[in-house]
Structure 1
Amino acid sequence: MARKTYQGEKNNKSRTMNKLIQAVGIVLKNKGYTGLTVSNITAEAGVDRKLVSVYFGSVNNLIETYIKGKNYWDTINESAINLLTTAPETSTRLILENLLLTQLEHFTNDEEMQKIVLWQISENTELMAHVTANREEIYPLLFPKADQELKDQQVDLRAISSILVAGIYYLVLHTKTTNSTFCEIDLTTDQGIGRIKTTIKKILEDTYSIV
């Protein structure tokens, strides 16, 4: 006869904490950051609401545990960081192009990340500052190298990149929220997304073409 695994207090606590943490992500995805209440989270987790205080102290601590355990931009930044560290001869134009196109694709498909960005631009909190810092990790590696490539040229790559990133965020969020076209481009189609990708490449080509 197979031995039964001990399901004591320690195991139950660990399972319950994990349920609550995972429930934060589900509620965030389905209801947005305004839906992150004790009632919604514990209902999703299927546990007594008292356990939030018992195991995390407060719902805010629970939410912080979840958010700080997620690095939303790691997947986006990974290939760019690899190129910067292992292939230093690669043009920053190609690295930035890859970074922006990956961001567009990832952000279009990741509903939780969309909710996080909405949260970022809606509330100035220490928790969202942590998320922002994670997003910005790539730039101290990228821009100094780009400065050398664009040396003595009248190009503000940081401003251009800011506009492109902001444009990606707004276009995706506008499409997801309103399910409508933007400047007659339908970003719910591969053709629409393709037009944006092509234009991002063209802007970067034009930016670097003066070198």
Structure 2
Amino acid sequence: MSNMKKDSEKKESKPRKVYSGPLRDKARTQDRLINTVGSVLEKRGYAGLTLANVGKASGLDRKNIYNYFGNFETLIKAYIDKKEFWKVESKNKIADILESSGTINKEQITDLLQDQFVTLMEDPGLQKIIHWEMAENSELLRTVADDRERVGEELFNILEKDFVGNEAKMRSSFAMILGGIYYLTIHASSNGSTICGIDVNTEEGSQIVKETLDEMIAFVFDKYSKK
């Protein structure tokens, strides 16, 4: 009886086999193509992001791009959506803010923007996307920027309740802060030089920027908020 029990336990402890199939193979191929877009973008820049280069780097037949994404632009959009900060990294935080009591405090905004700074510093692919948006007039990139703006607008609509009469100055302040984050991170990645003597590639420089972000956001709230 004891031996039968042990045999039964051995059988139950065996790992389940993972079988391949059309759906699993499709997902793997899609992921491989999306990741290849990132690799090509980081190595060759947006000028080198072509159908031929992605197909060659992926090691897959180019027909897979059309079979699974319809066209090359949709594949690129899938990669951008995967990297987009407001849709991925901060999605849960933003959802919590929008579903909360209807107010946003300076700690929440500071947390979001400090997270964005860190994410951009650590993600070359996302840096390339932001730089690409600045350098090229593209319907696809405009759509991405507009999607990002819609998320921001939801936050601003809540913020404005506490900045009555100073809405434009509040928005302008955050536009300059966000623009500074973009420039600092892209500049640091592109040539590694200092900006105003600050090297954001170092732990010390990065920490100073995060602390200054905290102080700048606090200033915007203290200066323009009616609360």
TM-score bin (small chain) = 0.7 to 0.9
Alpha-carbon distance between aligned partners in 2 of 1:19 and 1:158, rounded to the nearest angstrom: 39
- Which residue of the partner structure matches residue 92 of structure 2? 78
- State the Cα RMSD in Å: 2.9
- Which residue of the partner structure matches residue 202 of structure 2? 189
Q: For residue 65 of structure 1, report the CA deviation from its aligned partner.
A: 4.3
Q: Is the 8 A contact 2:104 2:159 kept in 1?
A: no
Alpha-carbon distance between aligned partners in 2 of 1:6 and 1:206, rounded to the nearest angstrom: 56
Alpha-carbon distance between aligned partners in 2 of 1:6 and 1:150, rounded to the nearest angstrom: 56
Q: Is the 8 A contact 1:73 1:134 kept in 2?
A: no
- Which residue of the partner structure matches residue 180 of structure 1? 193
Task: Tell me the matched-pair count.
Answer: 207
Output the amino acid matched with 1:83. I
- Which residue of the partner structure matches residue 219 of structure 2? 206
Q: For residue 190 of structure 1, report the CA deviation from its aligned partner.
A: 1.5
Select between 67-76 and 179-188 the one with higher mean Cα deviation.
67-76
Flag the 1:11–1:202 CA change in 2: closer, same or farther, 3 A. Answer: closer
Q: How does 1:32-181 map to 2 (within 5 A)?
A: 32-49=45-62, 51-52=64-65, 58-68=71-81, 71-74=84-87, 75-91=89-105, 93-153=106-166, 156-181=169-194
Flag the 1:137–1:15 CA change in 2: closer, same or farther, 3 A. Answer: same
TM-score normalised according to structure 2 size: 0.76
Alpha-carbon distance between aligned partners in 1 of 2:205 and 2:217, rounded to the nearest angstrom: 19
Select between 109-118 and 21-30 the one with higher mean Cα deviation.
21-30
Alpha-carbon distance between aligned partners in 1 of 2:43 and 2:145, rounded to the nearest angstrom: 22
3-state SS, counterpart of residue 137 of structure 2: coil
Once the two structures are superposed, residues 153-193 of structure 1 have per-residue CA deviations (whole angstroms, 9 ceiling, x without a partner) of 58711100000000000011111111111100010111111
> Unaligned regions of 5+ residues in structure 1, if any?
none
Output the amino acid matched with 1:47. L
Q: For residue 21 of structure 1, report the CA deviation from its aligned partner.
A: 3.2
Output the amino acid matched with 1:27. V
TM-score normalised according to structure 1 size: 0.81
Alpha-carbon distance between aligned partners in 2 of 1:112 and 1:61, rounded to the nearest angstrom: 17
Percent identical: 30
Q: For residue 14 of structure 1, report the CA deviation from its aligned partner.
A: 6.2
